[in-house]
Structure 1
Amino acid sequence: MNALFGSAEPTTYPAPTGPSRRALLGAAAAVTLTAAAAAPAAAATPAQQPRRSAFVTARDGELRLNGAPFRFGGTNCYYLHQQSHYMIDAVLDDAAAMGLGVVRAWAFADGSGQSYRPLQPSPYRYDEQAFDSLDYAVHKAGQLGLRLVLPLVNNWPDYGGMRQYVQWFLGLPDDSYGDGTNHDRFYTDPNIKACYRAWARQLTQRRNPYTGLRYCEDPTVMAFELANEPRCRSDKSGATLLAWAAEMSAHVKSLAPRQLVAVGDEGFYGEAGRADYPYSDYEGTPWRKLVALPAVDYATVHVYPQNWGETSGSKPGTDPVAWGTRWIQDHLADARALGKPLVVEEFGLQVDPARDVPDADARDRGYRAWTDAVLAGGAAGDQFWLLTSRVDDGSFYPDYDGHRIVWNADAANPSRTAAQLFAAHARAMSGS
């Protein structure tokens, strides 16, 4: 999910409303630590082979599997890399029961002394025991026939991210919610880039003890993403982010040539002179140029109109659902022109009368409009934010950001209807 703006916003862009991701996922990380401490340690499991399958490929503007088009309805569940086997089983079993095809989950946790278990406690040092959750999640997904998308770093400070790299090598304070001058050194500092390249190598070449396969050998991993929501606010031209993405996409592709590579960005167009924030150059993200890179296999786009100020309260006459539908359709048309598949890999609406979604029924109508646009428009897939399930005490994972969807809940749960909608959409996308 995308983080929200900081305080220094240009006057042409209305400041979005709602809780910040820093607070939401910080709380989630604290629950992670508590749950991990309370849960019994998982018993060692003999290495097992995942269900054998071909790799997903990209060709002629579509994803393909075994020579046929591959389309999917999917989801996100960022926390798989931190949780107990019970919690991983719970959410992936639910994803399979819904007929979802692809799950996107974080594959990074940088820096020590935080409320999460670091995979990379310090530069070039990796904690073997901390990898157990991610290793098991890949194994479990493979047994269920699910595919995974694994981003390699976070734009935001949650689980370390680019801020941690900048602090490690340059000792600079975080300004990812400001002008980005410090944050954006991530893309240009040679020592930071070397450390990121080493992390990509560590993950892609890692041999999973549960499967016996290296990550780069396992078709369960559909794609590696360069980052979750990369932005480079200090260079409005987009040249800095584009140069970094060109270098790193080629690097990751060389390490994992059989898997797909995506940027993981939100689809901001980076057009100078546009007053509408997501189409403007404010974040320094030239979407069309990023998609056109030769080592990038498919385009990504995120859809959060309420968080981006696309509401009637910020812009009279604006409907966030209609705006989001147009945003999806614009990206579908441009991806077709570029010859690349498109995945709407994050989208969400919050029930908030002040931001044009008065109740769960209105939210679900919005989700139906967006998934219908994906299906009719020929997108390769979509992944709602976010599917969660049971935690170790049997209760449901808390709804930190107002986007939680749960599958095996009773009829009183406000996300039950949305979960059923997404399950039906996944069947329609896969043709099953």
Structure 2
Amino acid sequence: MECGEEDLNEMGRDACRLPPRIYDFGGVEDDAWGMVQKKGNQFVVNDQPFYVNGFNTYWLMVFAVDQSTRGKVSEVFQHASSVGLTVCRTWAFNDGQWRALQKSPSVYDEDVFKALDFVVSEAKKYKIRLILSLTNNWDEYGGKAQYVKWGKVAGLNLTSDDDFFSHPTIKNYYKANVKALLNRVNTINNLTYKDDPTIFAWELMNEPRCASDPSGDKLQAWIEEMAVYVKSIDPKHLVEIGLEGFYGPSTPNRVQFNPDTFAQQVGTDFIRNHQVLGVDFASVHIYADTWISEAISDDHISFVKAWMQSHIEDAENFLGMPVMFGEFGVSTNDPGYNTSFRNTLVSTVYKAILNSSKKGGSGGGSLLWQLFPEGTDYMDDGYAIVLSKSPSTSDIISLQSKRLMSFNSFCSWKCHWGCKKRHPFETFVYHDDL
């Protein structure tokens, strides 16, 4: 039904108003656990808006293999759920490394696959959806370097890790792995991955770069081929690339927003890459402390604001799709780091998402890098946030979740954007206290 101003002002409990458990992060009922889709430049579930406050914890599958560490997976989801986080991005790959999922091309360790089954089924228990990344640009957990090593062992003439993007045999290795993952039947819930609404999206690769071809043509061709391939197996789920968001040769007027001139030489091209058939939403990462300077400075915040605004505008004006800020954070190892700065950075990112949401824009959400439970310090790259040890940051995360849940709880799109009169709920959502 449509909502009138009088209905909203009363803030009662019928279909036009906020549900009684809006501040209870208990999640949604099973009958509402539909597949995430996109409608124009917003994410939707069951035709309702779905703005994302989420996080990264990349090592979940590896921890789930061993019974002694499996409980940490549940802890992460429980802690995330307690502050209203609804999406987790994690690795669905481990290529040829310790506890490898894919030991060699198309050869899998069933125990590791069962561990991934556990991660997917456990996420559902806590009403958290997963963005599953399919391989890595970097050497950690195998990635493109491991695929090239496999190719060399098979006698292929390969001269660069970037041959991953162009050699037919290596591309077939990747496709075979995609096919195995998407057609995997979960041994715990008996759902095929490609049919499971717990999976928010497939990510082609974590932070793909192809520096050997600054024109961007090689990576562009790979994205075009692989996005369509994923969709040919699984047309139900959303697909994203996993890009950092650097502007390239196709948009010389936008390279001013890059952190440095090197960023436009790594073979990626934000707008061109995302205009590919089969890509449903844009991905951007934010690391001012590694891209601009390690030492903490106000310049970091200025960069974040401009970086986010330019990508939200491009997603609206050129791409017509949502944009997810898939990684952002600041390292405790940075010179001058303090909790206050981290809170300012997180609040800056959150405010940009809220401002976009307020206007019905393309800012679809953001994912902290990264959320850890206690007792996993040995995995910390400096960016880990342990909620129990970070009460002020935890409060900021929780407030953002409440605000976005309020957006997501409106009864219809017309109601969501059509009610003009200011009311108590709007004050709660937009009050400038971030």
TM over 0.5, shorter chain: yes
Structure with the bigger percentage of helix: 2
**Partner in structure 1 of residue 393 of structure 2:** 418
**Partner in structure 2 of residue 401 of structure 1:** 381
Name which of 124, 128, 147 aligns with 1:146: 128
Aligned to 1:170, the other structure's residue is in SS state helix
2:329–2:345 CA contact under 8 A, matched in 1: no
Q: Distance in 1 between matches of 2:185 and 2:333?
A: 45
**Partner in structure 2 of residue 88 of structure 1:** 73
Any idea what the Cα deviations from partners look like across 1:400-427, whole Å, max 9, x if unmatched? Answer: 22111112x2xxx3x3321221121122
For the pair 1:383 / 2:364, whether they are aligned, the reply is no
Whichever residue aligns with residue 344 of structure 1, its letter is: F
2:294–2:334 CA contact under 8 A, matched in 1: no
**Partner in structure 1 of residue 419 of structure 2:** none
Distance 1:416 1:243, change over 3 A: same
Whichever residue aligns with residue 286 of structure 2, its letter is: V
Aligned to 1:166, the other structure's residue is in SS state helix
**Partner in structure 1 of residue 343 of structure 2:** 364
Q: Distance in 1 between matches of 2:334 and 2:167?
A: 44
Whichever residue aligns with residue 327 of structure 2, its letter is: E
Q: Distance in 2 between matches of 1:67 and 1:87?
A: 34
What residue ranges of structure 2 are gaps of 5+ in the alignment? 1-28, 65-69, 358-362, 410-434
Aligned to 1:398, the other structure's residue is in SS state helix
Give the number of equivalent residue pairs. 359
What residue ranges of structure 1 are gaps of 5+ in the alignment? 1-49, 173-179
Q: Distance in 2 between matches of 1:352 and 1:109?
A: 27
Q: Distance in 2 between matches of 1:151 and 1:145?
A: 19
Moved over 6 A (4+): none
Deviation at 1:318, TM superposition (A): 6.7
Q: Distance in 2 between matches of 1:399 and 1:326?
A: 31
Deviation at 1:229, TM superposition (A): 0.3
Q: Distance in 2 between matches of 1:143 and 1:370?
A: 28
For the pair 1:269 / 2:247, whether they are aligned, the reply is yes
For the pair 1:430 / 2:405, whether they are aligned, the reply is yes
For the pair 1:293 / 2:276, whether they are aligned, the reply is yes
Aligned to 1:307, the other structure's residue is in SS state helix
Any idea what the Cα deviations from partners look like across 1:373-407, whole Å, max 9, x if unmatched? Answer: 121123111100001114xxxx3443622111112
Name which of 109, 116, 119 aligns with 2:94: 109
For the pair 1:195 / 2:173, whether they are aligned, the reply is yes
Q: Distance in 2 between matches of 1:135 and 1:51?
A: 19
**Partner in structure 2 of residue 130 of structure 1:** 112
Aligned to 2:224, the other structure's residue is in SS state helix
For the pair 1:169 / 2:146, whether they are aligned, the reply is no
Whichever residue aligns with residue 267 of structure 2, its letter is: G
Instruction: Give me the TM-score of the superposition, normalised by structure 1.
Output: 0.79
Q: Distance in 2 between matches of 1:241 and 1:73?
A: 29
Q: Distance in 2 between matches of 1:165 and 1:58?
A: 32
**Partner in structure 1 of residue 420 of structure 2:** none
Q: Percent identity?
A: 35
Whichever residue aligns with residue 87 of structure 2, its letter is: V
Provide the aligned C-alpha RMSD in A.
Answer: 2.2
Q: Distance in 2 between matches of 1:293 and 1:118?
A: 31
**Partner in structure 1 of residue 299 of structure 2:** 319
Q: Distance in 1 between matches of 2:334 and 2:119?
A: 37
